[in-house]
């Protein structure tokens, strides 16, 4: 398809104002957002997004996992749509842009095409994927994973949060369980705009990241079982301390990731000890390990080495241990054609750009298994994300949305 003219641009002020309006929904306590999936705040954000899409002339569809699809007609109704989008749910101490820039950047593409009276051949659909973050209900990218056939809908709907609430019940409670069968929609291509969530683009002074690959991931939930006992009167040699086991395994996670450098990361982000009382030796510890690498062999090796070492640590301390994989995807190679559309758009628009591997997981990682997919990234201040202080500039947001607009228009084709 013919490439758009370099003067085809989005409206930066409108995009920024829309981002700030969405940020008012489910505010955090330090300037960011706490709009966790399937909460009332998530529902409020969904209604706000749906209202904007209706005003932009889109027809909304919602599937049985709550994924939202706002469709702008093309001149060929039978042509498979070009999808754009990301997620509106946030971390509990999330930023205003992680995911949200991709959904509202997609809406800005529609609004700009409407302003310019441009009709595309293929329809365009803006998407909000349910539960990308995987914080309240593991794993991450849950609903796009069901859409891509990686999980069954029943398994996904049986996931429970820390309070024992079921995903399926919460989706129904907030009124966003749609009537479309998840996964039935077919795509011509999928593009996701996202903040980098790392320091590379800013450090390299680049406005655009052309995402060629994505890291693979393992989330391993470890449960250690020891014995509750008095922290004062129990002799050291009689203790069966699950908290000590967790500390040793947490250190091992860091060391194993360092042993697999370059391009490997590992940490424990979620940890609970029980009974969590100041003067009780923890008889139980439950925590999640997050290993990632763009290199499948390294990803596998880190998991194998950790499992062997954790078993030994547990044995040394007399602890029971279970390790349950609660999230996984292999490293991702995005579609060459879609990646080229993004790189050429950045070039045409005069934006500095570089190829980059995504450190974070995204819905695009699953959709890429089904349809031609690619991502465009913009920098974020100090590479900070999953933190309420997450920040980007209006210029970075606009550059990313301009590139998204061009990639979409080129792929959807401007109607004659």
Judged by beta carbon distances under 5 to 8 A according to partner kind, the member of ligand HGY, Mn ion, none in contact with residue 202 is: none
CB 400 within 8 A of CB 376: yes
260 is in an annotated binding site: no
DSSP secondary structure letters along 196-239: --SSHHHHTT-SEEEEEEE-EEEEEEEEEE---EETTTS-GGG-
Q: What is the Cα–Cα distance from 409 to 114, expressed in whole angstroms?
A: 13
Q: Which is nearer to ligand HGY, 90 or 225 (CB)?
A: 90
DSSP secondary structure letters along 236-272: GGG---HHHHHHHHHHHHHHHHHHT-SS-EEEEEEEE
Which parts of 301-360 interact with ligand HGY (CB under 6 A)? 360
The footprint of ligand HGY on this chain (CB under 6 A) covers a number of residues equal to: 6
Judged by beta carbon distances under 5 to 8 A according to partner kind, the member of Mn ion, ligand HGY, none in contact with residue 140 is: ligand HGY
Q: Whole-number minimum distance, CB 283 to Mn ion, in Å?
A: 33
Under rule CB under 5 A, residue 327 binds Mn ion: no
Q: Tokens for 88?
A: 């509106």
Q: Which is nearer to ligand HGY, 74 or 209 (CB)?
A: 209
Judged by beta carbon distances under 5 to 8 A according to partner kind, the member of Mn ion, ligand HGY, none in contact with residue 363 is: none
347 is in an annotated binding site: no
* Contact flags string 70-109 toward Mn ion, x per CB under 5 A: ----------------------------xx----------
Which parts of 373-412 interact with ligand HGY (CB under 6 A)? none
188 is in an annotated binding site: no
213 is in an annotated binding site: no
Tokens 């209006």, residue located: 394
> Bridge partners of 271?
287
Q: What are phi and psi of 166, to 5 degrees?
A: -85, 140
Reduced to 3 states (helix: H, G, I; strand: E, B; else coil), residue 158 is coil
Judged by beta carbon distances under 5 to 8 A according to partner kind, the member of Mn ion, ligand HGY, none in contact with residue 361 is: ligand HGY
Q: Whole-number minimum distance, CB 197 to ligand HGY, in Å?
A: 7
Q: What is the Cα–Cα distance from 365 to 327, expressed in whole angstroms?
A: 13
Tokens 């982000």, residue located: 269
* Contact flags string 85-124 toward ligand HGY, x per CB under 6 A: ----------------------------------------
Which parts of 13-72 interact with ligand HGY (CB under 6 A)? none
Tokens 């559309």, residue located: 341
SS3 for 85-154, per residue?
Answer: EECCCCCCCECCCCCHHHHHHHHHHHHHHHHHCCCECCCEEEEECCCCCCCCCCCCCHHHHHHCCCCCHH
Q: Which is nearer to Mn ion, 90 or 241 (CB)?
A: 90
Which parts of 156-215 interact with ligand HGY (CB under 6 A)? none
Q: Tokens for 157?
A: 């709907």
- Provide the sign of the torsion angle of the four alpha carbons 76, 78, 79, 81, taken in this order: positive
87 is in an annotated binding site: yes
Between the alpha carbon of residue 29 and those of residues 26, 33, 189, the distances in Å are 10, 8, 38
Under rule CB under 6 A, residue 133 binds ligand HGY: yes
Closest to 290 in 3D by CA, of 136, 95, 138, 90: 138
Q: Which is nearer to Mn ion, 98 or 108 (CB)?
A: 98
Which parts of 352-371 interact with ligand HGY (CB under 6 A)? 360-361
Q: Which is nearer to Mn ion, 104 or 310 (CB)?
A: 104
Q: Tokens for 33?
A: 């957002």
CB 83 within 8 A of CB 187: yes
Given candidates 138, 140, 142, 405, which one binds ligand HGY under the rule CB under 6 A? 140
Q: Whole-number minimum distance, CB 140 to ligand HGY, in Å?
A: 4
Under rule CB under 6 A, residue 134 binds ligand HGY: yes
Q: Whole-number minimum distance, CB 343 to ligand HGY, in Å?
A: 23
Q: Which is nearer to Mn ion, 208 or 224 (CB)?
A: 208
Give the N- to C-terminal CA distance of the chain in Å, as an integer. 11
Q: What is the Cα–Cα distance from 378 to 396, expressed in whole angstroms?
A: 6
> Would you tell me which residues interact with ligand HGY (CB under 6 A)?
132-134, 140, 360-361
Q: Binding site for Zn(2+), residues?
A: 87, 98, 133, 194, 386
Q: Binding site, residues?
A: 87, 98, 133, 194, 386
> Would you tell me which residues interact with Mn ion (CB under 5 A)?
98-99
């Amino acid at each position: 398809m013919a490439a758009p003219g370099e003067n085809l641009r989005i409206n930066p002020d409108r995009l920024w104002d829309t981002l700030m309006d969405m940020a008012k929904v489910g505010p955090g306590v330090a300037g960011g957002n706490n709009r966790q999936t399937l909460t009332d705040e998530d529902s409020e954000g969904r209604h706000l997004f749906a209202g904007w899409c209706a005003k932009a002339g889109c027809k909304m569809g919602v599937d049985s996992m709550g994924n939202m699809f706002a469709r702008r007609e093309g001149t060929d109704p039978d042509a498979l749509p070009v999808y754009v989008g990301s997620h509106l749910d946030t971390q509990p101490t999330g930023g205003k842009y992680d995911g949200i820039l991709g959904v509202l950047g997609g809406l800005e593409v529609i609004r700009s095409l409407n302003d310019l009276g441009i009709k595309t051949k293929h329809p365009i659909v803006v998407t909000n994927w349910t539960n990308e973050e995987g914080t309240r209900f593991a794993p991450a990218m849950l609903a796009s994973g069901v859409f891509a056939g990686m999980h069954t809908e029943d398994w996904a709907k049986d996931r429970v949060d820390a309070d024992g609430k079921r995903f399926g019940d919460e989706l129904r409670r907030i009124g966003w369980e749609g009537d479309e069968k998840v996964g039935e929609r077919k795509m011509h291509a999928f593009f996701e705009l996202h903040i980098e969530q790392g320091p590379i683009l800013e450090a390299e002074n680049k406005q655009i990241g052309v995402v060629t690959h994505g890291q693979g991931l393992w989330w391993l939930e470890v449960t250690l079982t020891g014995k509750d006992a008095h922290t004062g009167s129990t002799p050291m040699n009689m203790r069966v301390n699950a908290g000590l086991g967790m500390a040793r395994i947490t250190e091992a996670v860091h060391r194993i990731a360092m042993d697999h450098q370059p391009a490997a990361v590992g940490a424990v982000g979620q940890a609970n000890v029980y009974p969590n009382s100041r003067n009780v030796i923890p008889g139980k510890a439950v925590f999640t390990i997050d290993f990632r690498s763009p290199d499948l062999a390294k990803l596998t090796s880190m998991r194998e080495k950790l499992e062997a070492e954790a078993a030994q640590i547990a044995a040394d301390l007399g602890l029971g241990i279970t390790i349950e994989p609660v999230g996984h995807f292999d490293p991702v190679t995005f579609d060459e054609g879609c990646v080229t559309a993004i790189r050429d758009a950045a070039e045409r628009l005069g934006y500095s750009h570089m190829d980059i591997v995504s450190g974070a997981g995204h819905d695009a990682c699953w959709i890429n298994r089904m349809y031609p997919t690619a991502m465009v990234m913009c920098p974020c201040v100090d590479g900070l994300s999953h933190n309420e202080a997450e920040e980007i500039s209006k210029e970075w947001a606009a550059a990313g949305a301009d590139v998204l607009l061009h990639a979409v228009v080129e792929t959807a084709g401007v109607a004659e």
